[in-house]
Copies of this chain bind each other. A is one copy, B any other.
Amino acid sequence: MGRKNAFYAQSGGVSAVINASACGVIQTAREHGDIIDKILAGRNGIIGALTEDLIDTARESDAAIAALRHTPAGAFGSCRYKLESPEQDRREYERLIEVFKAHDIGYFFYNGGGDSADTCLKVSQLSERIGFPIQAIHVPKTVDNDLPITDNCPGFGSVAKYIAVSTREAGFDVRSMAKTSTKVFVLEVMGRHAGWIAAAGGLASDAQTDIPIVILFPEIPFDRERFLAKVDSFVKRSGYCAVVVSEGIRDPDGRFLADQGLKDAFGHAQLGGVAPVVAGIVRDGLGLKYHWATADYLQRAARHIASKTDVEQAYAMGKAAVELALAGENSVMPTVVRVSSQPYVWEVGATPLSQVANVEKMLPKEYITDDGFGITEACREYLLPLIQGEDYPPYRDGLPDYVTLRNEGVEKKLPDFEL
């Protein structure tokens, strides 16, 4: 087999380190120009492949590609677009293969979460059936940390660090103000299904820095009275309290709290604001003064406070994806393998995509304290290594010097395709 081109795309919600994986893919592929010719990136993820909107990364300088390592979000654009199942409609998958054929693509690197692992698996299966060989490698990425087998998902460690740092800082703030003013600070964090990110808030408190923190996990049905009793006991003991609430908490009937609280002036429900709902419960139930914050994109884009461990692992996953391809592997995903927690030792592994697709890794029960409001030592031992180290981006004029690529397109060879 002669030189082939590679295709790389970013999928789903972006993170502080998905570009570090892109950097690992492209730098490693560039080192093997005898085997991999061009790396073509999908503009806006898989949509770029379907619409033959391909970016020629060879037009980017080595310096620009190196700068991806310290640049947050998706440098080539991402998308939220789920392909139809090939059993129902093979049209999209066949189009992918057609585009790959037209551009002589032999390697498919797909950087995303569970859905994209599934897409990657199906591309590999179809290419085999059709007899056009594509090596499909999935590069793990999700701030939600819900992929199985791998120790953690690149992207998560940096969100965890951001939430832990922010909870500590806001905890110090509310402690200062509590005598006459705010006594409860509520921070809303991402994680609709699993409480990994909420759990990271618990790291803000440790033996040397005691901050009373109540965590509301999506795994635990919200119990208003028990929650208020917990907050009340902390405020009575310490004078103040921080609450870290997952956007995905539900009442005992399974309804999202975020969906039922707030209405705008027209009576429309406001989505994505569980922090003010929880703050209102504190006010109504305890009469305490509160402040609340909703970090939203800030938490997953915060490359300025990324975890060095996370950056290294994200880069390693991209690099390993190319090395797996060069070794002839197909339909696999590189993984982080934890060898030990104290000290944290990890190495790169790999797993078949069939083991990854459609499996969601939930927060284990033993990571949540018996009262349902905190993290256990086992959880702390799992999480702490993932936030170790700082990996500051360079600054220019007081601001992080993030790169914006040229993103020049490749000439199209095929007729248009209707999405």
User: Which residues of A come within 8 Å of B, CB atoms?
Assistant: 10, 13-14, 16, 44-45, 47, 71-75, 77-81, 161, 164-166, 168-170, 172-182, 185, 187, 203-204, 206, 208-210, 260-266, 268, 270, 272-273, 275-277, 280, 284, 291-298, 300-305, 307, 384, 387-390, 392, 395-400, 402, 404
Q: Using CB atoms, name the residue of chain B closest to A383.
A: B398
CB distance from A397 to the nearest CB of B (A): 6
Q: A392-B392, A402-B168 are in contact. Are A77 and B265 (CB under 8 A)?
A: no
Q: CA of A397 to CA of B307 in the docked complex: distance in angstroms?
A: 11
Taking a contact as CB atoms under 8 Å apart, the answer to whether B204 and A399 are in contact is yes
Choice from B206, B277, B397 contacting A397 with Cβ under 8 Å? B206
Q: CA of A114 to CA of B324 in the docked complex: distance in angstroms?
A: 63
- Inter-chain contacts of A388 with B (CB < 8 A): 397-398
Q: Using CB atoms, name the residue of chain B closest to A308.
A: B398
Choice from B78, B301, B399 contacting A203 with Cβ under 8 Å? B399
- Inter-chain contacts of A280 with B (CB < 8 A): 264, 268, 270
The 20 listed contacts between A and B (C-beta, < 8 Å) are A73-B173, A78-B179, A161-B398, A166-B302, A169-B400, A170-B297, A182-B297, A203-B399, A204-B399, A208-B396, A210-B404, A262-B263, A262-B264, A272-B276, A272-B292, A291-B297, A293-B296, A293-B297, A295-B295, A387-B399
Taking a contact as CB atoms under 8 Å apart, the answer to whether B164 and A399 are in contact is yes
Q: CA of A289 to CA of B237 in the docked complex: distance in angstroms?
A: 43
- Inter-chain contacts of A164 with B (CB < 8 A): 398-399
- Inter-chain contacts of A270 with B (CB < 8 A): 262, 276, 280
- Inter-chain contacts of A404 with B (CB < 8 A): 208-210
Q: CA of A250 to CA of B315 in the docked complex: distance in angstroms?
A: 46
- Inter-chain contacts of A261 with B (CB < 8 A): 264-265
CB distance from A53 to the nearest CB of B (A): 10
Choice from B181, B187, B292 contacting A79 with Cβ under 8 Å? B181
- Inter-chain contacts of A170 with B (CB < 8 A): 296-298, 301
- Inter-chain contacts of A168 with B (CB < 8 A): 399-400, 402
Choice from B14, B260, B297, B307 contacting A265 with Cβ under 8 Å? B260
Q: CA of A123 to CA of B9 in the docked complex: distance in angstroms?
A: 65
- Inter-chain contacts of A180 with B (CB < 8 A): 44, 47, 79-81
Q: Given A168-B399, A169-B402, A272-B276, list of 6 further CB < 8 A pairs? A: A47-B180, A77-B178, A78-B176, A79-B181, A264-B277, A307-B398
Q: CA of A74 to CA of B384 in the docked complex: distance in angstroms?
A: 27
Q: A77-B179, A179-B44, A179-B47 are in contact. Are A297 and B398 (CB under 8 A)?
A: no
CB distance from A308 to the nearest CB of B (A): 9
CB distance from A346 to the nearest CB of B (A): 15
Q: Using CB atoms, name the residue of chain B closest to A380.
A: B397
Q: CA of A292 to CA of B265 in the docked complex: distance in angstroms?
A: 17
CB distance from A276 to the nearest CB of B (A): 5
Q: CA of A313 to CA of B48 in the docked complex: distance in angstroms?
A: 49
Q: A72-B169, A177-B78, A389-B398 are in contact. Are A293 and B304 (CB under 8 A)?
A: no
- Inter-chain contacts of A173 with B (CB < 8 A): 14, 72-73, 297, 300-301
CB distance from A73 to the nearest CB of B (A): 4
- Inter-chain contacts of A45 with B (CB < 8 A): 179
Taking a contact as CB atoms under 8 Å apart, the answer to whether A298 and B181 are in contact is no
- Inter-chain contacts of A395 with B (CB < 8 A): 390
CB distance from A137 to the nearest CB of B (A): 21
Q: Which of A203, A268, A402 has the most CB of B within 10 A?
A: A402
Q: Which of A80, A294, A295, A300 has the most CB of B within 10 A?
A: A294
Choice from B13, B177, B387 contacting A13 with Cβ under 8 Å? B177
Taking a contact as CB atoms under 8 Å apart, the answer to whether B302 and A291 are in contact is no
- Inter-chain contacts of A208 with B (CB < 8 A): 396, 404
